[in-house]
């Protein structure tokens, strides 16, 4: 009898890897609940998954990895949960500082970090400063990040810069209109947290949720989305492979035909 083989693609093509992968690290709470553990245990497991996936991205040659660690809305969570996430971030940065030189990992934090604890702010600044010239994978951690907030901030800093440059006292309405009229998508992108970072090619959301949740609204205009039911702490290298294979099967047309 002829054997029937299911046709599956088992590997992605190295020459068609996404340059930039972004991930909403979702499902930590449900992962913990399933095990009768506190939600904070889910975040601790999620932080380990992040470490593992960042290493894998570095090893396979992904240039940028962006993760959603804490949103501008996450402050609404119970204080002990917020505290635990901040502690995990501190722990992660301290460990990363020790090995980023060896691994040449460049770290960036996207979001309003001014409101973080003095210790975390210091660690964030140190990690960015120490790694700013490294050319391995660039890991962007979205921390106190909200995409609408990012866009409003960008509009404000653009306007503030124009006013400073043009000496507000002598500026005519006509000149101001010209300045505003000359704003382009490319120029505007430079005022976002992601200035100088290419838009994500692939955005992954685990845990069965199919929402954008205020993540990279501007930058995701032409990103490919991949959803999986796996909860973030269960996400692993195989899951990322599947996401990359799905990405490689898509035809990216950027609005053309």
Q: Does 204 bind ligand FPP (CB under 6 A)?
A: no
Grouping H, G, I as helix, E, B as strand and the rest as coil, residue 101 is: helix
C-alpha span between 73 and 214 (Å, rounded)? 9
Q: Tell the smallest beta-carbon distance from residue 254 to ligand FPP (Å).
A: 30
Question: Cα dihedral angle (25, 143, 50, 57), rounded to 10 degrees?
Answer: 100
Spell out the residues 6+ positions from residue 129 whose beta carbon is closer than 8 angstroms to its own: none
By CB under 6 A, tell whether 21 contacts ligand FPP.
Answer: no
CB of 185: closest distance to ligand FPP in angstroms?
A: 30
Query: Footprint of ligand FPP on residues 24-83 (CB under 6 A)?
Result: 25-30, 43, 46-47, 50, 67, 69, 74
CB-wise, 61 or 78, nearer to ligand FPP? Answer: 78
Contact (CB, 8 A) for 45 and 31: yes
Question: Binding residues for ligand FPP, how many (CB under 6 A)?
Answer: 19
Cβ–Cβ < 8 Å for 10, 52: no
Question: Closest approach of Cβ 255 to ligand FPP, in Å?
Answer: 32
Selection from 18, 12, 17 nearest residue 200 by Cα: 18
Provide the edge-to-edge strand list for the sheet that holds 20-24: 106-110, 138-145, 64-71, 20-24, 202-205, 224-227
Cβ proximity to ligand FPP, 81 vs 241, nearer residue: 81
Active site residue 140: no
Among candidate residues 74, 149, 234, 241, the one labeled active-site is 74
Q: Could you give the angle at which helices 173-181 and 147-165 cross, rounded to 10 degrees? A: 140
Secondary element (H or E) of residue 191? none
Question: Does 111 engage in binding with ligand FPP (CB under 6 A)?
Answer: no
CB nearest ligand FPP: which residue? 29
Q: At its nearest, how many Å lie between ligand FPP and the CB of residue 203? A: 15
Tokens of residue 79, six digits: 């204080």
- Min CB(218)–ligand FPP separation in Å: 21
Part of the chain binding ligand FPP (CB under 6 A), chosen from 85-93, 103-111, 196-204, 212-220: 85-93
Is 26 labeled as catalytic in the residue annotation? yes
Residue 144: helix, strand or coil by DSSP?
A: strand
Site string for ligand FPP, 133-152 (x = CB under 6 A): --------x-----------
The CA-atom distances, in angstroms, between 45 and each of 42, 216, 241 are 5, 24, 20
CB of 9 to ligand FPP, least distance (A): 30
Nearer to ligand FPP, 126 or 171 (CB): 126
Positions in the binding site for ligand FPP (CB under 6 A): 25-30, 43, 46-47, 50, 67, 69, 74, 85, 88-89, 92, 141, 207
Residues labelled catalytic:
26, 74
């Amino acid at each position: 009898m002829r054997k029937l083989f299911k046709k599956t693609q088992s590997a992605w093509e190295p020459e068609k890897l996404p340059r930039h992968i972004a991930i909403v690290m979702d499902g930590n709470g449900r992962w913990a609940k399933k095990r009768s553990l506190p939600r904070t245990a889910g975040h601790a497991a999620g932080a380990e998954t992040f470490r593992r996936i960042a290493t894998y991205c570095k090893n396979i040659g992904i240039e940028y990895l962006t993760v959603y660690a804490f949103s501008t809305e996450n402050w609404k969570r119970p204080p002990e949960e917020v505290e635990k996430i901040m502690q995990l971030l501190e722990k992660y940065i301290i460990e990363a500082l020790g090995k980023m030189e060896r691994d040449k990992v460049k770290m960036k934090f996207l979001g309003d970090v001014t409101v973080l604890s003095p210790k975390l702010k210091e660690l964030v600044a140190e990690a960015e400063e120490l790694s700013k010239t490294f050319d391995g994978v660039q890991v962007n951690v979205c921390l106190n990040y909200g995409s609408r907030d990012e866009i409003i901030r960008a509009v404000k800093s653009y306007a503030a810069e124009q006013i400073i440059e043009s000496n507000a006292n002598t500026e005519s309405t006509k000149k101001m209109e010209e300045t505003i009229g000359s704003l382009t998508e490319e120029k505007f992108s430079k005022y976002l947290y992601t200035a100088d970072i290419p838009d994500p090619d692939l955005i992954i959301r685990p845990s069965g949720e199919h929402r954008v949740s205020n993540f990279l609204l501007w930058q995701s205009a032409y990103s490919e989305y991949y959803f999986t039911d796996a909860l973030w702490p269960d996400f692993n290298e195989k899951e990322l492979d599947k996401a990359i294979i799905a990405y490689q099967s898509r035809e990216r047309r950027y609005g053309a035909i």
